[in-house]
Amino acid sequence: MEQVERRLAAILIADVAGYTRQMHDDEEGTLARLRGNRADLIDPRIGAHRGRIVKLMGDGILVEFGSVLDAVRCATEIQRALAARNAGLPDDERMLFRIGINLGDVIVDGDDIYGDGVNVAARMQEIAPPGGISVSGTVHDSIRDRLAPAFQDLGPQRVKHIAEPVRAYRVVLEPEAEKAVAPDAGGRPPSGADADGGSGGRVTAILSSSQRRGAWQVPARLHVLAIMGSIELDLREASLAPGLTEISVINVMGSVGLTLPAGIAVTCDGIGILGQFDSLVHRTDRSAGQAPRLHIGGVAVMAQTSAR
């Protein structure tokens, strides 16, 4: 029986959020931006941190590092550079990458690599927010005292083809970088929004309007405040954290509309006082455990709040 070659490696997988939609809207422009980002920002940093590009996968890339510290440093530098480039571009030209990293055993087949080490990295990439980085527990435990970025514990994650749950963490980038990858419809950092370590956030419109749409990360707890203002939140291309996401709405003489994604469990139990809080939404989903679930609550006073 032929002996299988194995080695321990840090695996980085990156993928473009919303790539299919961008290709549908502008194939040539999207492909040019992807190639430009790789040539200018991504590939040079991979080389600088001694990474090896194993293969390109459409809009994705698989990279192997001998050092987990190099892998995470490379990922953070890439996301910061992309955020800086995106800040100067209109919304429809911004390209946001999700990056996942795992440290594990891989099977070597020529220049290619396979195995659970790669599979877990792919799942970390899938749960990363657009413009963000998610890492496995083995990565976190290896570098938590040796690298500047903080980490947000996402808890155990059920991932495909892996029997046991895998603990995951999100790398918390600088506030400036995180704002730069969550633009509003006008291409600016979202007005009235702030982050508190990634677990909560706020969208506010007082005698004004605010919109969120496209690829953005929904905090686990989102507070929505409209006072004689208008807020539109489109969650169809947004990233929801595994488990429960809670949206609390206070709407006074304003208008709040939420456009919901398909395929997740949604409950809504808001109260209308001389107004309307659409509480007819109740979708069920067969998935369980760490699958995204959404709860919408709050109050509408002489106002209209709807979830559709």
Show the tokens assigned to 74: 């490379």
Quick one: pLDDT at residue 199?
A: 45
Q: Is the pLDDT of residue 171 over 70?
A: yes
Quick one: pLDDT at residue 228?
A: 85
Per-residue pLDDT reduced to its tens digit, 66-99: 999 999 999 999 999 999 998 888 888 889 999 9
Quick one: pLDDT at residue 214?
A: 80
User: How does DSSP assign the chain, residue by residue?
Assistant: -PPPEEEEEEEEEEEETTHHHHHHH-HHHHHHHHHHHIIIIIHHHHHHTT-EEEEEETTEEEEEES-HHHHHHHHHHHHHHHHHHHHTS-GGG---EEEEEEEEEEEEETTEEESHHHHHHHHHHHHSPTT-EEEEHHHHHHHTTT-SSEEEEEEEE--TT-SS-EEEEEEE--HHHHHHTS--TTSSSPTT-EESTTSEEEEEEESSEEEE-SS-EEPSEEEEEEES-EEEEE-TT-EE-SSEEEEEEEEESSEEEEEPPSSSEEEE--EEESSEE----EE--S--TTS-EEEEEEEEESSEEEE-
Q: Is the pLDDT of residue 139 over 70?
A: yes
Mean pLDDT, rounded, for 161-172: 84
Quick one: pLDDT at residue 183?
A: 40
Q: Could you give the CA distance from residue 208 to residue 3 in angstroms, rounded to a whole number?
A: 67
289 bridge partner residues: none
pLDDT band at 152 (very low <50, low <70, confident <90, very high): confident
Contact predicate 21/29, CB 8 Å: no
Lowest mean pLDDT among 50-54, 88-92, 220-224: 88-92
Mean pLDDT, rounded, for 19-24: 87
For the chain, domains (ranges, CATH) are 5-179 (3.30.70.1230), 183-307 (no CATH)
Most confident of 50-64, 187-201, 290-304: 50-64
On average, the pLDDT of the chain sits at 82
Per-residue pLDDT reduced to its tens digit, 239-279: 887 778 889 999 998 899 998 887 778 888 888 888 888 75
Mean pLDDT, rounded, for 204-229: 85
Quick one: pLDDT at residue 273?
A: 85
Quick one: pLDDT at residue 62?
A: 97
Per-residue pLDDT reduced to its tens digit, 100-116: 999 999 999 999 999 98
Mean pLDDT, rounded, for 135-144: 91
Dihedral (Cα; 71, 125, 64, 21), 10-degree rounding = -110
